[in-house]
Copies of this chain bind each other. A is one copy, B any other.
């Protein structure tokens, strides 16, 4: 009597050389994955079942399942399959590569938490204000400039005011919505100790520069720097720190 490898319990004869195996449907139930996902992992070589029946049905061994559980744990942590592959095929198997993958993922998750919390604030604000409109901030900004003499000459203020008029929605959104948000995010990163060389900070700095260019227009005249100086004076020492932090990000 030949061992029947395709039985619903797998081959489990005592004294036999072959170990207990699981069919793909059993594996799906055990892991909560779909059959299609297991096919996918097989296709890309992530988890290839060690055996097949004569008719081609996949049979997973306990060792296969151990690998699979590790993969699902990492997947549920949001680690992409390519990175999981790297961690699994690394020489020591539980050494530095895995540690690096976990640390990277940990940083990303912590950033996700902060981003989601900011998102939550924004959604609450949008709900209270009844929408996602950007308001008409630039009039406020111009007023503020007039009230604080010594930074900009009346001519410069008029020129900026005209420029903002030309820019319309683009200007008011940049100054009133996006820049405050970007500066807020940068401030958070600085406070929690994210190094200025981190790509996240770099992205914020780059976007701020792009917006500054949009606002400056084709012929810059140095007004922008004086506006920045005004903000630093208004915002206190922490604003000065933030400006230095962003400058460092730009050169790293």
Contact = CB atoms under 8 A, between A and B. Distances in A.
A54 to B, nearest CB: 24
A116 B106 CA distance: 10
Interface in A84-125: 94, 98-99, 102-103, 105-106, 109-110, 112-113, 116-117, 119-120, 122-124
Given A131-B70, A214-B29, A77 B169 contact: no
Interface stretch (A36-44, A170-178, A192-200, A223-231): A170-178
Nearest to A131: B94
Among A20, A32, A214, max chain B CB count under 10 A is at A32
A73 B132 contact: yes
B130 A106 contact: no
B123 A117 contact: no
Contact of A109 (B62, B78, B120, B132): B120
A156 B136 CA distance: 73
Copies of this chain, how many?
2
A35 interface: no
Contact of A20 (B12, B70, B134, B166): B166
A210 interface: yes
B127 A109 contact: no
Contacts of A146: none
B123 A116 contact: no
A17 interface: no
B106 A110 contact: no
A7 to B, nearest CB: 12
Given A78-B119, A110-B120, A62 B130 contact: no
A127 B103 contact: yes
Contacts of A169: 62, 65-66, 69
A142 interface: no
Contacts of A103: 127
A240 interface: no
Given A9-B166, A30-B174, A102-B123, 7 more contacts: A62-B169, A69-B173, A74-B132, A76-B119, A98-B131, A103-B127, A113-B117
20 contacts: A8-B218, A20-B166, A26-B214, A29-B210, A29-B214, A30-B174, A30-B214, A32-B178, A70-B132, A73-B122, A73-B126, A74-B132, A78-B119, A94-B130, A98-B130, A99-B130, A109-B123, A110-B120, A112-B112, A112-B116
